[in-house]
């Protein structure tokens, strides 16, 4: 709290009784092995580490630490499954497995939502209503493509790539696994997936689901571990394709490692999305859109609308309303169904957010943070809005990946476009206006892979998602998402 008028702006806040979802629904085991060739097995080194609940700091379960020999085993299993089974199945047979997986995700959706919330810290409302249903939807969607690949626009007989190594981050653990696995399997590839170190658990429940679906052994292998596990997968000569979602920094490293090899590569990296609001947009909807654009999933969203560009004529009113709305956000127990903003995923991420927010204050921006009470255990950060931000400030240039919004202003559409494009990233932008012609004029000029109009953070398996410039290359979702896994 730096601006004390926030504390008195509690207008319209309701008090709710706690409505916690039960953690026991997670039914977590004490320890999980690596999922290789259809079974859970110990790591060769027998090493393991604990996955932690970031909302309490408590250990949730122990997972195996995969090292190079385990990567060798998993890649060999994927290759064998590719050669002997998966490349020989028809599209209709592959579709049958994908439909089964989708239905089993739905059947176990409550358990998956609770596991995701425990392991990641995100509100149960989001894991229940967004992460898990979208993960199922992805499998349903790509199941539909599996027997229609020749109609996808990639030639008469599109071939799979082979063995795909897939590395995913911690912000949408199950959903990112679905984004990677569903199109790869539909196209006829086999997979070795590495979940993030801090959020491995939903991928291990997914491994159980793959067993339930009787997916042939070795078609999907899941290796828990750290960055070194990911690096070993990237280096492995038996992998035909690397699909990576994560930071631009690690993406660059991977691109260098893969250069000169026959491996294919797609990268989904960071972002610094501009949410552009014009003075003719309906203000109530716009305020909710701005809030959702940055505080959804604690702002741990690569396409977050982390830079608000607001037309100068309405800047004062928008800021006043935003600050009031931020004060009403309910921050706390992620398992509580009323919670809007949950825990920060790790101590490392909290340190990064704290450092960038301090830089924002030091560089002269005006900070408004919610006066909400933060739990004493675990990792938390109060939702924050910065006004008087200039394009050169670090908080306007660097990805914070937390619940922090930087507000800048503009006068004309030209200036809005220039400021929105003044970034090394190019993942997503939002435009808010009543005028369709203006929205299209702006959208045509924005350099970003995804542009939302009068909405934000809207995801659908039928719609391609991905970046330009330092946000990476390749698309996930839609017909376009198949290209990454076809030899075209
Ligand atoms: P990260 O550090 O790049 O990690 C991503 C994944 O890569 C994790 O599984 C990580 O393992 C692994 N990894 C780390 N070092 C590696 C290496 N040298 N070689 C191979 N793999 C390695 O990113 P993060 O902090 O988890 O995620 C946040 C970033 O992801 C943000 O920048 C965000 O914008 C981006 N993101 C992008 C999208 C998109 O679709 N464009 C979606 C979500 C997130 P460990 O977890 O064990 O370190
Ligand atoms: Mg965790």
181-208 pLDDT per residue, tens: 999 999 999 999 999 999 999 999 999 9
265-303 pLDDT per residue, tens: 999 999 999 999 999 999 999 999 999 999 999 999 999
Q: For residue 226, which atom of ligand 1 is closest to its CA?
A: 47
246 lines ligand 1 (CB under 6 A): yes
Provide the pLDDT for residue 14: 66
Does 309 have pLDDT greater than 60? yes
Give dist(CA 351, CA 379) in Å, integer: 10
Strand 264-268, strand 241-245: pairing? parallel
Among residues of the chain, what percentage have pLDDT more than 70? 97
Question: What is the residue whose two structure tokens read 């250069």?
Answer: 259
Give dist(CA 128, CA 177) in Å, integer: 16
**Active-site residue numbers?**
268, 302
227 lines ligand 1 (CB under 6 A): yes
Ligand in nearest proximity to the CA of 226? 1
Starting from the edge strand earliest in sequence, which strands make up the sheet with 59-64, in order?
31-32, 59-64, 48-52
Average pLDDT over residues 349-360: 98
Does 11 have pLDDT greater than 70? no
Give dist(CA 365, CA 344) in Å, integer: 23
**Of all helices (H) and strands (E), which one includes residue 310?**
strand 307-311
Give dist(CA 332, CA 319) in Å, integer: 24
* Segments in 162-224 forming alpha helices (H): 173-186, 201-212
| Cβ–Cβ < 8 Å for 383, 403 | yes
426 lines ligand 1 (CB under 6 A): no
43-72 pLDDT per residue, tens: 999 999 999 999 999 999 999 999 999 999
Average pLDDT over residues 419-446: 98
Q: How many CA atoms lie within 13 A of 213 on its CB side?
A: 28
Q: For residue 302, which atom of ligand 1 is closest to its CA?
A: 34
243 lines ligand 1 (CB under 6 A): no
Does 238 have pLDDT greater than 60? yes
Does 422 have pLDDT greater than 50? yes
Does 35 have pLDDT greater than 60? yes
| Cβ–Cβ < 8 Å for 338, 297 | no
Model pTM above 0.85: yes
Let me know how long the chain is: 488
DSSP notation for 245-271: ES-HHHHHHHHHHHTTSS-EEEEE---
Ligand in nearest proximity to the CA of 115? 2
Average pLDDT over residues 18-35: 96
Supply 83's token pair: 């050669």
Within 8 A by CB and 6+ apart from 45, the residues are 65, 67, 69
- The protein residue with its alpha carbon nearest to ligand 1, atom 13, reads 227
What region does 372 belong to: left with phi over 0, alpha with psi -120 to 50, or beta? beta
470 lines ligand 1 (CB under 6 A): no
Distance between Cα 60 and ligand 2 center (Å)? 8
**Of all helices (H) and strands (E), which one includes residue 197?**
none
Provide the pLDDT for residue 15: 78
């Amino acid at each position: 709290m730096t601006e004390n008028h926030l504390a008195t702006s509690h207008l319209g806040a309701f008090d709710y009784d706690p409505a916690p979802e039960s953690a026991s629904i997670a039914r977590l085991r004490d320890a999980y092995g690596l999922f290789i060739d259809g079974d859970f097995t110990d790591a060769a080194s027998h090493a393991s580490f604990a996955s932690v609940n970031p909302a309490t700091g408590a250990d949730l379960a122990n997972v195996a630490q995969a090292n190079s020999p385990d990567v060798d085993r998993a890649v060999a299993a994927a290759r064998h499954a590719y050669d002997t089974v998966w490349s020989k199945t028809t599209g209709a047979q592959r579709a049958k497995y994908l439909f089964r997986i989708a239905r089993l995700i739905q059947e176990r959706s409550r358990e998956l939502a609770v596991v995701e919330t425990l392991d990641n810290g995100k509100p149960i409302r989001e894991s229940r209503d967004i992460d898990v249903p979208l993960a199922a939807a992805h499998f349903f969607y790509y199941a539909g493509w599996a027997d229609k690949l020749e109609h996808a626009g990639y030639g008469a007989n599109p071939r799979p790539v082979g063995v795909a190594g897939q590395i995913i981050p911690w912000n949408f653990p199950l959903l990112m696994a679905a984004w990677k696995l569903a199109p790869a399997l539909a196209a006829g590839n086999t997979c070795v997936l590495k979940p993030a170190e801090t959020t491995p658990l939903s991928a291990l429940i997914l491994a159980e689901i793959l067993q339930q679906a009787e997916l042939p052994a070795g078609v999907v292998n899941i290796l828990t571990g750290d960055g070194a596990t990911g690096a070993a997968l990237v280096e492995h000569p038996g992998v035909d394709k690397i699909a990576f979602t994560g930071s631009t920094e690690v993406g660059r490293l991977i691109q260098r490692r893969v250069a000169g090899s026959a491996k294919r590569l797609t990268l989904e990296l960071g972002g610094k999305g501009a949410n552009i609001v014009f003075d003719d947009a309906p203000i109530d909807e716009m305020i909710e859109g701005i809030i959702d654009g940055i505080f959804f999933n604690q702002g741990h969203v690569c396409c977050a609308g982390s830079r608000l560009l607001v037309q100068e004529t309405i800047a004062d009113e928008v800021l006043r309303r935003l600050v009031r709305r931020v004060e009403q956000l309910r921050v706390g127990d992620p398992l509580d169904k009323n919670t809007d903003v949950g825990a920060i995923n790790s101590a490392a991420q909290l340190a990064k957010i704290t450092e960038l927010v301090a830089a924002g204050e030091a560089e002269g921006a005006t900070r408004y943070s919610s006066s909400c009470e933060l739990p004493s255990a675990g990792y938390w950060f109060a939702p924050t809005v910065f006004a008087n931000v200039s394009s050169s400030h670090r908080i306007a240039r660097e990805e914070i990946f937390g619940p922090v919004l930087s507000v800048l202003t503009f006068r004309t559409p030209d200036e809005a476009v220039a400021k929105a494009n003044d970034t090394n990233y190019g993942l997503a932008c939002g435009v808010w206006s009543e005028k369709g012609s203006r929205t299209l004029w702006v959208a045509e000029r924005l350099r970003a892979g995804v542009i939302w109009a009068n909405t934000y953070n809207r995801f659908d398996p039928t719609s391609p998602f991905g970046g330009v410039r330092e946000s990476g290359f390749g698309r996930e979702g839609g017909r376009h998402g198949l290209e990454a896994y076809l030899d075209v």
